[in-house]
Structure 1
Amino acid sequence: MDISKVSANAPQLHTIETGVGGRGKTVDLNDVAVLLHPEDDVAIARVPLNRGLVLRLPAASGSIEVAQRILSGHKVSLHTIAEGAPVRRYGSIIGFASQAIQAGEHVHSHNLTVGTLKQTYEYAVDVRPLAFVAEQERRTFMGYRRPDGKVGTRNYIAIISSVNCSASTVRAIQQHFGPEQLRAYPNVDGVIGLTHKSGCGMRTGSAAVEQLQRVLSGMAVHPNVGAYLLVGLGCESNQLQDMIAAMQLDSSQQWKQPHVLTLQENHGIAHTVAESVRIIGDLLPQVNAVERESVPISELKLALQCGGSDGWSGITANPGLGFCVDELVRQGGTAVLSETPEIYGAEHILLRRARSQEIGEQFVERLRWWEHYTAINDMEMDNNPSPGNKLGGLTTIYEKSLGATAKGGTTPLNAVYKYAEAVTERGLVVMDTPGYDPVSVTGQVAGGCNIIVFTTGRGSVFGFKPAPSIKVATNTPLYEKMTDDMDINAGVVLDGVSTEEIGRRILDEVIAVASGKQSKSEAQGIGEEEFAPWILGATM
């Protein structure tokens, strides 16, 4: 159904605490729940539904009686479902009944399991030509145009540790550059320290080292970083000179050359800190010299994220973000969908939109890799949803994935990238990352994303420097409870606002924040501890 056409007389989600109805009360299903597809076996409670409430089904399909209290965002069965039968939401299978389910019963972890999907993939069958906005008519934002043509939304100096052994030194350097020291440099957004828990205990030349180097070098050459300093210990597996050579840091950006210090060659912490302060002091006037200018939004690379999801994520915020993505792509921009384990079970939707069978098969190969990866680490793909997701109404990874994939909109899938690989293709692309938000976003930003939109139903407070993070609440109670952390309320979709309107609001906010407006997380100084490169393999 079109959620924007919910009955105007329906109870508002954020005003109902005790629940609707009880024995003897009858209401239309669409007044208190959301039926997303005519073939669905479940509807989503808009408000808490009390036991005994009678729900009139659409299209003269009879009525059902609610069997037990069902919380907002959770599922109610619309008819009897046999044990082992598939259960559908969004018109797709979200799992299989682990026991017989009666009409009006709560459908959740106690009676729904993932089972095994037997998917038949079709590639590129839904690809349609896009009507791009003419270049002279494209919207613009105020960004930092770099000499290599890339465009930043922020202007930082980054201190990057090669290994955890130099992390404390990086923090000591950073402490020298607070607001008072930066007051004379208004075009510099800050001096940030990017530290991590890896860099050694790894085999030199391994895939793990190569991936870490891809992340660190991606942050160094990022358009939101005007200059950078690399700080190492000296004896680590991730040798800085090896990384500079392998990632071509000394030749890829002539205007932004690497500055390198190691503790063992610079007489320890105190001397390294003093020399770093001198180097950054020299860099500050250069970085401050750049100014914002008007550039088309085709230069935006948008990282798509959801975290702390709930039963409304796939109904309000994620489809709204999908509309924003479609418009950004029409304007020539780029959107990066990630969190591969949270696409699992919904991949058939993306594969139908893959620009070619080859691109689709690249993504299927990543899914097969994840099945192997989870198996050898005593995990399973349905380890997700998290406990918080389940409290919010999500039951299986298939259900979560179907809602999460809505962030990617409807345009063709143009490329599949490895973790932290530089994103060069425009339009909608996928980057293979874990579902864990800090690790996923680290890969996206290292790949070049210069702004993030993060949807949440339970209340994530995620921020990430150097790329600003915009938070979109999936429901009004969350937005009202955490107004200092939420940038946009998509919960108003449940009050009749269209997902298209939410998408326009998100795009407007993206443009404003890209132009310098602080997101809620930035205003609170959040975003450095979230830098978390994906650690592969054994730590020795």
Structure 2
Amino acid sequence: MKTKFLQIHPLDNVLVALQDLKKGERISFNGSDITLTADIPAKHKFFMDDMHAGDDILMYGVLVGKSQYAIAKGSRMDTDNTKHAVDNYCFRPYDYQWTAPHIDSFKGKTFNGYVRSDGRVGTANHWLFIPLVFCENRNLDIIKEALYNELGYNVSEKYKSFTRALVHAHKNGRPLKQDDMDEFVHFSPASERVFKNIDGIKFLNHQGGCGGTRQDAAILSKLLGAYADHPNVCGITILSLGCQNLQINDFLIDLKDRNPDFDKPIFIFEQQQSKSEESLIKEAITATFEGLVQANEIERQPAPLSKLVLGVKCGGSDGFSGISANPAVGYTSDLLVALGGTVLLAEFPELCGAEQSLIDRTKDEHAAKKFISLMQAYSASAEQAGSGFHMNPSPGNIKDGLITDAIKSNGAAKKGGNSPIVDVLDYTESYSKPGLNLVCTPGNDVEATTGKTASGATLILFTTGLGTPTGNPICPVIKVATNTKLATQMADIIDINTGPIIDGEKTIEEMGEDILHYCIQAASGAIIPKAVLLNQDDFIPWKRGVSL
């Protein structure tokens, strides 16, 4: 029989409904009877005891809010009776002990990746187009349409064919019929790609490079350099206008600073030095095509799991995120760390309230203090703008049970598992140490995945309770649903369902192992995540402004 409710931590004074509970229903827990004073939808919380105004509300064993007035036990937690609250945090000497999970079933396993000259291993092989300024976006769009259609990467052809059929039916003055579809649908699948070892040709359209501040251009340069240097990238074509803030030489300096031994093919075209727009586009296509011919000779090779770099992210979170998907991904993270791999946990606004436990797990004092400094600066900038981390939960988060940012954050932190933290990285900084790393990014889905990829993630596990199509141009994004209803309803974007944890059919540990098996397949190209199949290539640079 499915469990109706859950206490996440023994210190908690609220329970989580795992299924819809009715007003007047009697709940027995730890020898006490609780009569529900309202309907409690699944994912929401209700109070175990009578609360007084100002009482601490605990979840995950830590402070997540304060009661605003007297609340009867059995009442539903909501934004009226509960307000965000967290404990202070600081660096303190702490002897953190971690027991690594058993990894016997994964020892000796490999994935088939693209081995680069510096020893890093990509999970994909992409050619990358980068504009140094937004003025070149149109030229990129034209090149993209030309290459995608002719080289077999276009996933929108079926919609073009559908539109052709609609036009045909309209011109003939009748409703759309199957015969119209049969006549006009022509779709070229991935199996018809010209270059079988090129997983994608990707385009980093953006709105920066000029205007704004010089600091914006400098940050963008480091970000674009990080993408060019990424192990999932085999070659780069750069388009520049010529007069913009982000100059070609600035970009090349940042690229060499990041990797002095950078040796990938890179083609650079400047429009203001070109004979014409047509000449620019044709030259860029020609050079890229020749580069693709060479890059297509690269083939996947076996590599140890220690070469995987896993980014962990949540978006469209719900009240089950911290109970099913995030802890399961956390167990996957622990498995990979125990195997010598690397995990990147980001989204600093969604670590609010979990800071002390993360600081206590940080091995190096300098790294711990760097985390404190980045968190405090980020929080201060948000408050200076009239906002704050407490305003992070979206209306969708709140509707599905994440009442305060501290509740959301403590559940989000579960994605990082329990291993020690080996380093703390600022935005665009590359990881250098295997193990669990913290990366400073916003909580915003695309800004976070963009930043996490810049720090070196070669796969991203993205948990969601409400559903989101977010992807990344060069890093495969694997969607992990918190509940079976979502996994069924949005099967076209969901890759893994952790709903069996909620239904009592699987443990967190079993699900975590399943996820790692999936990651190995995805890293090898044997399974293609839905976001990749859909060409969900989301890319938003962060300007270091206030973004929650």
1:377 aligns with 2:347: no
Provide the residue aligned with 1:22 in structure 2: none
Deviates more, 1:115-124 or 1:179-188: 115-124
Contact persistence 1:132–1:331 (CA under 8 A) = no
1:450 counterpart = 2:458: yes
Whole-Å separation in 1 of the counterparts to 2:150 and 2:141? 17
Cα RMSD after superposing both structures: 2.0
The aligned counterpart of 1:272 is: 280
**1:484 maps to 2:456:** no
Is contact 1:138-1:331 (8 Å) kept? no
1:50 aligns with 2:22: yes
Q: Which residue of 2 aligns with 1:160?
A: 130
Task: Classify 1:48/1:525 alpha carbon distance in 2 versus 1 (closer, same or farther; 3 Å).
Answer: same
1:311/1:537 Cα in 2 relative to 1: closer, same or farther (>3 Å)?
closer
CA apart distance, 1:251: 7.1
Deviations 1:280-314, CA, capped at 9 Å, x for gaps: 11101111000001000111111110001011100
Aligned match of 2:163: none
Residue of structure 2 equivalent to 1:287? 295
CA contact (8 A) 2:113 2:123 kept: yes
**What is the DSSP-based 3-state SS (H/G/I as helix, E as strand, rest coil) of the residue aligned with 1:107?**
coil
Give the % identical residues: 33
Equivalent in the alignment of 1:318: 326
Aligned with 1:171 (options 120, 127, 141):
141
The one-character-per-residue Cα deviations of 1:353-391 (angstroms, maximum 9, x if unpaired) are 111222211101111111221022222111111111001
Aligned to 2:418: 410
Give the Cα separation in 2 of the matches to 1:223 and 1:469: 15
Is the alpha carbon distance of 1:179 and 1:332 closer, same or farther for their aligned partners in structure 2, counting shifts above 3 Å? farther
Helix, strand or coil: the match of 2:146? coil
How far 1:525 sits from its partner (Å)? 2.2
Provide the TM-score with structure 2 as the length reference: 0.88
SS in 1 for 2:74: coil
Which residue identity does 1:386 align to in structure 2? Answer: S
Unaligned runs of 5+ in 1: 1-8, 11-30
Q: Which residue of 2 aligns with 1:5?
A: none
Q: Does 1:339 align with 2:347?
A: yes
Picking from 184, 190, 195, the partner of 2:205 is 195
Change (3 A) 1:56 1:298: same
Residue by residue over 1:195-250, the C-alpha shift from the partner in whole angstroms, topping out at 9 and shown as x without a partner, is 1111111444x3x3332111100111111111001111111111122210233179
Secondary structure of the 2:27 match is strand
What does the per-residue CA deviation read over 1:121-170, in whole Å, with 9 as the maximum and x for residues that have no partner?
53443144768979x94321000001121111111111001111111111
The answer to whether the Cα contact below 8 Å between 2:345 and 2:438 also exists between their aligned partners in 1 is: yes
1:90 to 60, 66, 75: 60
Supply the distance in 2 between the matched residues of 1:129 and 1:475 (Cα, whole angstroms). 29
SS in 1 for 2:273: coil
Describe the SS at the equivalent of 1:96.
strand
Task: Write the letter of the residue equivalent to 1:511.
Answer: I
The 3-state SS of whatever aligns with 1:177 is: helix
Distance (Å, rounded) in 1 between the aligned partners of 2:86 and 2:135? 45
Residue 15 of structure 1 corresponds to none
1:461 is aligned to 469
Q: Supply the distance in 1 between the matched residues of 2:219 and 2:420 (Cα, whole angstroms).
A: 27
Change (3 A) 1:90 1:316: same
Q: Is the 8 A contact 1:123 1:356 kept in 2?
A: no
Distance 2:89 2:71 in 1: 24
> Where in structure 2 are there 5+ consecutive unaligned residues?
153-192
Residue-pair matches, total: 504
Contact (CA 8 Å) 2:221, 2:250: kept in 1 or not?
no
Asked whether the equivalents of residues 163 and 197 of structure 1 are also in contact (C-alpha less than 8 Å), the reply is yes
CA contact (8 A) 1:96 1:115 kept: yes
Match of 1:512 in 2: 521
